[in-house]
C-alpha cells in the first residue's frame, strides 16, 4: 500500500496522532522554557552554581531516551503510563540547550553595555529585562530551536510508554516490518522538525543584535 493511500484511508487517525505529537512537543518545550530561562538567568547571577546545574542537565541529556522514559514510569505523580511521563522526560531533555544558551546569551552581552546600564542606575531587574534578555534573545532562541527539534524526534519514542504521537506508526511499523507504516510516522515528524527549525531560525536571526 502506498503512503498516500494509507494517509487517505486513515486521515482522521493521522491528524489525531500529529496533533498529539504537537501537543507533547509544545507543552514540554513551553515548560522547558519556563524552567530553563529563569534557571539560566540564575546561573548568570550565581556563577558558582553553573557547573553543578549544567552538569545535571548534561546527565539527563546523556541518558538514552527510551531508558529515561522507562526510569520515569515507576515514579509516583510524574510517572506512570501516558503523556505526563513523556512530557516530563521531554522537559528534562530540552532543559540543557535552553539553560546553557540563556546563560551564554546573557554572559555574551558586551561588558561595557552592562557597566553603562548599571552605572546609570538601572536595577538588576531593569538591566535583565531591558538589556540582557533582549540582547541575548538571539542566542536563547537558538537554544529553544535545538530543544524543539530534538523534542520532535524524541517525542516519537514517547509512543513506547503509551503517550501517543506519531511514534505510534513507527513502533507499529517496526513490529510488523512495514516500511510504509514507519514512513507514515517518520515523514510528518521530520516535516514538523524542519518547520520548527525554519520558523525559529527566522526568529533567531531577527533578534541577533550582536552581529550588527
Partner 1 sequence: MQGLGYRLPGRGTGDEGSGRFLVQDVSFSVGAGETLVLLGRSGSGKTTTLKLINRLLEPTSGDVRVAAERAADLPVTRLRRRIGYVIQEVGLFPHFTVERNVGLVPQLDRWPQARIAARVRELLMLVGLDPDTFARRYPHELSGGQRQRVGVARALAADPPLLLLDEPFGALDPITRVELQREFAALEGRLGKAMVFVTHDVREGLLLGTRIGLMLQGRLRFLGTPDEFRRSDDPECKAFMAAA
Residue 208 C-beta: closest distance to partner 1, Å = 11
Q: Is 126 in the site for partner 1 (CB under 8 A)?
A: yes
Options 37-45, 70-78, 125-133, 164-172: segment touching partner 1 (CB under 8 A): 125-133
Q: Is 175 in the site for partner 1 (CB under 8 A)?
A: no
Is the CB of 18 or the CB of 122 nearer to partner 1? 122
Q: Is 112 in the site for partner 1 (CB under 8 A)?
A: yes
Q: Is 117 in the site for partner 1 (CB under 8 A)?
A: yes
Q: Could you write out the three-class secondary structure of the chain?
A: CCHHHHHHHCHHHHHHHHHHHHHHHHHHHHHHHHHHHHHHHHHHHCHHHHHHHHHHHHHHHHCCHHHHHHHHCCCCCCCCCCHHHHHHHHHHHHHHHHHHHHHHHHHCCCHHHHHHHHHCCCCHHHHHHHHHHHHHHHHHHHHHHHHHHHHHHHHHHHHHHCCCCCHHHHHHHHHHCCHHHHHHHHHHHHHHHHHHHHHHHHHHHHCCCCCC
Total site size for partner 1, rule CB under 8 A: 21
| Chain positions contacting partner 1, by CB under 8 A | 110, 112-123, 126, 130-131, 134-135, 209-210, 212
Amino acid at each position: 500500500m502506498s503512503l498516500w493511500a494509507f494517509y487517505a484511508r486513515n486521515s482522521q487517525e493521522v491528524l489525531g496522532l500529529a496533533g498529539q505529537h504537537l501537543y507533547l512537543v509544545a507543552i514540554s518545550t513551553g515548560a522547558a522554557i519556563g524552567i530553563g530561562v529563569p534557571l539560566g538567568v540564575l546561573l548568570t547571577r550565581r556563577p558558582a552554581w553553573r557547573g553543578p546545574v549544567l552538569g545535571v542537565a548534561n546527565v539527563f541529556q546523556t541518558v538514552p531516551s527510551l531508558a529515561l522514559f522507562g526510569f520515569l514510569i515507576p515514579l509516583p505523580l510524574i510517572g506512570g503510563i501516558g503523556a505526563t511521563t513523556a512530557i516530563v522526560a521531554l522537559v528534562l531533555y530540552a532543559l540543557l540547550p535552553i539553560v546553557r544558551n540563556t546563560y551564554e546569551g546573557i554572559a555574551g552581552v558586551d561588558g561595557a553595555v552592562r557597566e553603562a546600564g548599571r552605572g546609570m542606575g538601572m536595577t538588576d531587574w531593569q538591566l535583565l529585562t531591558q538589556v540582557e534578555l533582549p540582547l541575548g534573545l538571539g542566542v536563547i532562541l537558538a537554544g529553544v530551536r535545538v530543544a524543539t527539534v530534538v523534542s520532535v524526534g524524541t517525542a516519537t519514542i514517547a509512543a513506547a510508554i503509551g503517550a501517543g504521537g506519531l511514534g505510534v506508526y513507527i513502533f507499529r511499523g517496526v513490529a510488523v516490518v512495514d516500511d510504509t507504516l514507519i514512513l507514515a510516522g517518520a515523514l510528518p515528524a521530520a516535516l514538523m522538525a524542519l518547520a520548527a527549525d525554519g520558523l525559529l531560525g527566522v526568529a533567531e536571526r531577527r533578534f541577533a543584535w550582536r552581529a550588527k
